[in-house]
Amino acid sequence: MFASFMINAWVVATIVAVIAGAVGFFVVLRGSAFPAHAIPNGAFAGAAGASLLGVNTLAGLGVFAVLAAVGIGVLGRRGRNDVVTALALVVMLALGAVFLSQTTQYEPEIFSLLFGEVLGVASNEILPVAVLGVVCIAAVLVLYRPLILSSVVPDIGESKGVSSQRMETAFLVVVALATAMTVPVVGALLIFSLMIGPPAAARSFTNRPSVAMVLSIAIALITVWTAIALSFVTNWPIGFFVGALCALSYGVGRAWATGRRARAPRLETVTTGLVQA
């Protein structure tokens, strides 16, 4: 399991889990599960386009992911956010279908782009992932305060000069960056599960943002490591284990939250709720 050809997989998966846990905290806080699903799928189309034109895959991924993010951010200002996201998603996928229809060399790679090929990571893929990872974490740290403010109490944020529209676009671009580098390694579908499951579980355990973020990263790490180990032993696709473990952690988190609510006396929850508000 820790043979030399597996080392790259462990390193990359660890980086990916840290980023997904950190960015995912905001995805859950803002309830942006749909954009977090749409942007990686858009990036997938970018990879197909890049392969058709013979350009660097990472460039195609990045351009399409950022385009999708900005498109959702800009169009979402006037229209219904979920409608715009759905339309952006289908336009991206349709473009991907065109690219794929014009090339014949690409088919075997599709499965790995969607479901991940974490066990076949090459050494030269680590550096770009690490660099973009640092950029993402830096962006999360810079945006941390204003983003929390505009996610939780948008009105107060606006009054303090934090434009929620600009925050939305900035946040989506961070998701796009996190997506662009991770899609070729872990697949469009796996990164989505990681951005949703662990942070949602973490939020059930604690209300404090910083603790929740650290907890979210920790759960994401445990999920990915367990998934790699199980995938190595059973030879089943890693995406299955990640999806199942993320759903499991969410279920445990929900059960915990329900149990805590049942244990605590009614009045106390009401007053703490008032104090926090």
Partner 1 sequence: MRWLFESGFFASHPVHVACLVGSIVAVVSGVVGVFTVMRGQSFAGHSLADVATAGGSGAFLVGISPLFGFVAGGVVGAGAMEAIGVRRARGRDLATGIVLGASIGLAALFLYLSTTESSTTGASQQILFGSIFSTVSSTVPVVAIFSVLCLGIMALVYRPLLLSSVSTDMAAARGVPVRVVALLYMVALALAVGLSSLAIGAILSTALLIGPAAIALRLTKRIGWAMMAASLSGVVAVLAGVLLAYDSYYWSPSHASWPVSFFIVVIVFLGYLATELPFVSTAVTRQRRPATSDASEAHR
Q: Which is nearer to partner 1, 22 or 89 (CB)?
A: 89
Give residues 215-244 in contact with partner 1 (rule: CB under 8 A).
236-237, 239-244
What are the CA-CA distances from residue 125 to residues 2, 122, 136, 168, 174 (Å)? 19, 5, 17, 30, 20
Question: Is residue 197 a contact point for partner 1 (CB under 8 A)?
Answer: yes
* 256: contact with partner 1 by CB under 8 A: no
Q: Which of residues 9-28 bind partner 1 (CB under 8 A)?
A: 28
| Shortest Cβ 251–partner 1 spacing (Å) | 8
Q: Does 204 bind partner 1 (CB under 8 A)?
A: no
Smallest separation (angstroms) from partner 1 to the CB of 99:
10
Binding residues with partner 1: total (CB under 8 A): 52
Q: Which stretch binds partner 1 (CB under 8 A): 9-17, 55-63, 102-110, 177-185?
A: 102-110
Tell me the DSSP string of the chain: --SHHHHHHHHHHHHHHHHHHHHHHHHHHHT-HHHHHHHHHHHHHHHHHHHHHT--HHHHHHHHHHHHHHHHHHHTTTS-HHHHHHHHHHHHHHHHHHHHHH-SS-HHHHHHHHH--GGG--GGGHHHHHHHHHHHHHHHHHHHHHHHHHHH-HHHHHHTT--HHHHHHHHHHHHHHHHHHHHHHH-HHHHHHHHHHHHHHHHHH---HHHHHHHHHHHHHHHHHHHHHHHHHH---HHHHHHHHHHHHHHHHHHHHHHHHHHS-HHHHHHHHHHH-
CB-nearer residue toward partner 1: 86 or 173: 86
Selected binder of partner 1 within 57, 193, 216, 223 (CB under 8 A)? 193
Q: Using CB under 8 A, which of 52, 63, 74, 110 touches partner 1?
A: 110
Question: Which of residues 55, 56, 111, 272 is near partner 1 by CB under 8 A?
Answer: 111
Stretch that binds partner 1, among 166-174, 193-201, 255-263, 265-273 (CB under 8 A): 193-201
Answer for which of 53, 55, 79, 271 binds partner 1 (CB under 8 A) is 79
Calculate ∠ Cα 91-97-98, nearest 5°.
90
Residues of the shown chain interacting with partner 1 in the complex, contacts defined by CB under 8 A: 28, 30-34, 36-37, 78-80, 82-83, 85-87, 89-91, 93-98, 100-102, 107-108, 110-111, 114-115, 189, 192-193, 196-197, 200, 236-237, 239-244, 246-247, 250, 254
